[in-house]
Structure 1
Amino acid sequence: MNAPSPSDVGRLVHLGIGNFARAHTLQATAVAGGWSVVAFTGRSAAMADALNAQGGRYGLIVRGPEADEVSVLDVIDEVHPAADVDALVALLADPFTAVVTLTITEKGYAAGSDPATSAPARLALGLKARREAGVEEPIALVSCDNLTGNGEVLGKAVRAELDEETAAWFDDHVDVISSMVDRITPSADDGAADTVREQTGFADAVPVVTEPFTEWVIENRFRGRRPEWEKAGVQLTDDIEVHERRKLRLLNGAHTLMAYAGQIAGVQRVDEAIGHREVRALVEQLWSEARATLPLPADELDAYTAALEERFRNPRLADNLIRIAADGTAKLPVRALPVIAELGGPDKAPGEVAAVAAWTAWVTDRVRTGHEVQDPKSAEIAEAAGLEDATERITALLALLDVPAGDPLVAAVVAEEQRLPRP
């Protein structure tokens, strides 16, 4: 393990050390320099074992349309499994720690009150220890997950777990900050480790593959120390909401639609989905609807969607739709349903309805063919997908998205399922 350098400004703790964090937030932290990083895994301890065996180093493959750019990042000092609650508590009680970043996925913010399984509950314990240690400098908690107002979501989840004294201390000593992150990071292919070894000489068991594009916009509300992320092109802003909505509704919304509609149409990768005539038409319809809800200039939105299409078409990124299809019950309520509501109902948003219908059709096909649906509500999905009557089935599935029975969306999805492109 690397020890913190005497010249380090502070320590950053990251919760949820997966591929995305290593390709995005930690890469930016490496460019900023001057910070010690201690990371914690999500659900599995395997990443901790692998990274610790490599001294925290890992290979980053930036996969452009024609060639790779490969580097070895040496930014992580040590990695702990998520269950190592004592280690996190000790780190947060240490005044050298000034920032916590999180990539725990949408469902991680509703994980309950057990510190063994809940990141918000673990943070609450750590903040209690920080208060008891008498640390005065505010610590920043920065959410880097795909949620509108992710800082507010994080703050609410953590506050719910605080004891009375720490709750009273919280506002003067904790900054809870929203951010918008964007960098497509697929699962590493079988040849990724060979690519890292051939180009750098480093033997890497857990390489990361990502795209050239990267964007990180952070709410500028830090009272304490933080990395100089601006060196990596990070944007600090006083208005995070419009950036969040643009990304969630245009990039993530299109991703969600393609994940389900593409597989139903018989393709398996993002580049194949955007190249499929009928799926692409659905994406363009969804973009048209989502754009109508965004208070941004048309030329800016034109440039953004054109860049998205170029990113989606990258044939060397090989981003598998099955990866993006996970956790639909957490994603659709923040990516598709708000657009339907803001436009005035399902008849005004057929592209967003198609995203919902593609999900109901896809999970039904998966359940009925004996395949797993990766979702926090997988058991409920399996039960609902087994219903024979289409209206009853879709009513039950949409209830998992908090859509009430009798909502016009139910009938719209029943009809749209029949129109989805199939092989």
Structure 2
Amino acid sequence: MIRLSSGAVPQGAAEWPGYTPEAHGTGIVHLGLGNFARAHLLAYTDAALALQGGNWRVTGVSLRGTAVADSLIPQDGRYTLVTRGETVSARVIGALADVLAGANVGAAALAAMGNPACRIVSLTVTEKGYGITSTGGLDRNHPAVKADLARPDAPSGVIGLIAAALAARRAANLAPFTVLSCDNLSHNGQKLRTAVLEFATACHGPDLADWIATRASFPSTMVDRITPAATPATAATAAALTGHSDLAAVETEPFTQWVIEDDFCAGRPAWHQTGALFVRDVAPYEQMKLRMLNGAHSMLAYSGQLAGRAYVRDVMADPAHAALVRRHLAAAAATVQGLTLDLDAYAQALCDRFRNPAIAHATAQIAMDGTQKLPQRITAPALQALAAGTATRPFAFALAAWLAWLARRDALGQPIPVDDPKAAPLAAAVVQQTTPAGLIRAVAGVCPDILPEPLQTGPFGAELCALLDNIQTQGMTAVIAREAAP
């Protein structure tokens, strides 16, 4: 079977680009070319190019190895987006113009970001990829930030790259670009702006920081589309629907959402015509998504792992476990403020999405990088619920499940995933603990932003300790059944 490329002849049931990709120049440099970016930002951009054209194709930058580039470059950036719902469909995406990766990726990325044609630098690098503290400042102990502070003219981390690229543009008398975070960080644009300004001041001087603050834009966003890891079935479906071999195919769900603060300093594609919602304030939308969808995902990921459920759909297939998902969504919804949306309907839609039998979204995939996710997904709504006197047990259960998951992995001789930036200190903290109270104190010492004092003491602390004890002594399956009982 002939491999997908720019010269591939359209065939099969797939939808092919409704424009000539090579007739359009690039205007976006995207840092972090993982599955989500290809199922979300690139899909929106592809649709916008088909509707209104413009020089908005994307140069993708893979900062973590060459596997993505190795699959996409021989295909001229073309790949298949497989959508699995009640029916299965496919689109060939043509919005990706080039992929940068390898040993000199930092220098190549700087050149691309310094090109006058670049008007947006977007990012999907996961929460841990930024080097931002939980309070939104520059994390000077983050390995990439630390390295870039030492060598600001040869950066490899995203904040160092953005600051260096903006410095180069200012020196060349070029206008700045818009910096568009598409990761699950609360106030992502605001936090990234603060960190870039701090880095720029430290390494390039206050004049550059003032220029960035005055002229560049850092809009906040809320993104939502469940995108599991690709499997051999993904490639097989792509081949069946396109008639071509595709080593870079991605699969996703039918639902997609993108809410964007309308603050762009150098223009943007016609994303507003492809379903993106432009608003003045993203915060209520991101709070809804982080606390409801992402919070429920974290809860079911850790409890699901302990209950032997490999996929989200497996959790939802168990009535008792599904009831706890609905309980968590209700508790999280009670903490969401500033929206006129029907949150009950949103919660039901989330349950329907989680239940989708065609999407194999692994609980292990969701469980990664918990120390970066839980402060905003679980801790923030728990503290708010505690202060307001609303239901807190769902949050205590979620934290207990995470703690039991940490301890169980160590007890089985399985290390805490090295993908978590706090894996080493967590493993050291967990290994010596033999009681629930001791485990809570030890982990709180490593992660005070997840287990602050109000969640360790008082009624919440007692509830957390009792739940953790029950999970460890009776097993997660028994605790799920009891928690879900009327």
The TM-score with structure 1 as length reference comes to 0.94
2:184 aligned partner: 146
**Partners of 2:128 and 2:372 within 8 A in 1:** yes
Report the Cα distance in structure 1 between the residues aligned to 2:341 and 2:216, rounded to whole angstroms: 38
SS of 1:290's partner is helix
Structure 1 vs Structure 2 CA RMSD: 2.2
Among 404, 419, 423, the alignment partner of 1:378 is 423
Residue deviations 1:193-244 (CA, integer Å, cap 9, x gap): 1111111022111210100000000000113211110121000001200100
The count of aligned residue pairs is 420
Residue deviations 1:180-200 (CA, integer Å, cap 9, x gap): 000000011221111111110
1:167 aligned partner: 209
SS of 1:288's partner is helix
Report the Cα distance in structure 1 between the residues aligned to 2:147 and 2:46, rounded to whole angstroms: 32
2:157 aligned partner: 118
What runs of 5+ residues in structure 2 fail to find an aligned partner?
Answer: 7-19, 132-141, 149-154, 479-486
Residue deviations 1:288-347 (CA, integer Å, cap 9, x gap): 221111136787111111110110000110111000000010111010101111112699
Report the Cα distance in structure 2 between the residues aligned to 1:100 and 1:234, rounded to whole angstroms: 18
Give the share of equivalent positions with the same residue, in percent: 37
1:133 aligned partner: 172
1:62 aligned partner: 83
Larger radius of gyration: 2
Q: CA deviation at 1:92?
A: 2.0
SS of 1:360's partner is helix
The TM-score with structure 2 as length reference comes to 0.82
Letter in 2 for 1:354: F
SS of 1:77's partner is strand
Residue deviations 1:126-180 (CA, integer Å, cap 9, x gap): 11111111013x4110110001100012112212221113112112331011100
Report the Cα distance in structure 2 between the residues aligned to 1:30 and 1:57, rounded to whole angstroms: 11
SS of 1:176's partner is coil
1:167-316 alignment to 2 at 5 Å?
167-295=209-337, 300-316=342-358
1:422 aligns with 2:473: no
SS of 1:336's partner is helix
Among 360, 364, 388, the alignment partner of 2:403 is 360
Letter in 1 for 2:81: L
**Partners of 2:302 and 2:405 within 8 A in 1:** yes
Residues 144/299 of structure 1: CA separation in 2 closer, same or farther (3 Å cut): closer
**Partners of 1:19 and 1:187 within 8 A in 2:** yes
1:18 aligned partner: 34
**Partners of 2:215 and 2:265 within 8 A in 1:** no
Letter in 2 for 1:415: A
Report the Cα distance in structure 2 between the residues aligned to 1:203 and 1:6, rounded to whole angstroms: 24
Report the Cα distance in structure 1 between the residues aligned to 2:431 and 2:477, rounded to whole angstroms: 21
Report the Cα distance in structure 2 between the residues aligned to 1:387 and 1:298, rounded to whole angstroms: 48
SS of 1:141's partner is strand
**Partners of 1:217 and 1:236 within 8 A in 2:** yes
**Partners of 2:429 and 2:446 within 8 A in 1:** no
1:108 aligns with 2:129: yes
1:58-97 alignment to 2 at 5 Å?
58-64=79-85, 66-81=86-101, 84-97=105-118
**Partners of 2:197 and 2:213 within 8 A in 1:** no
What runs of 5+ residues in structure 1 fail to find an aligned partner?
Answer: none
Report the Cα distance in structure 2 between the residues aligned to 1:386 and 1:114, rounded to whole angstroms: 31
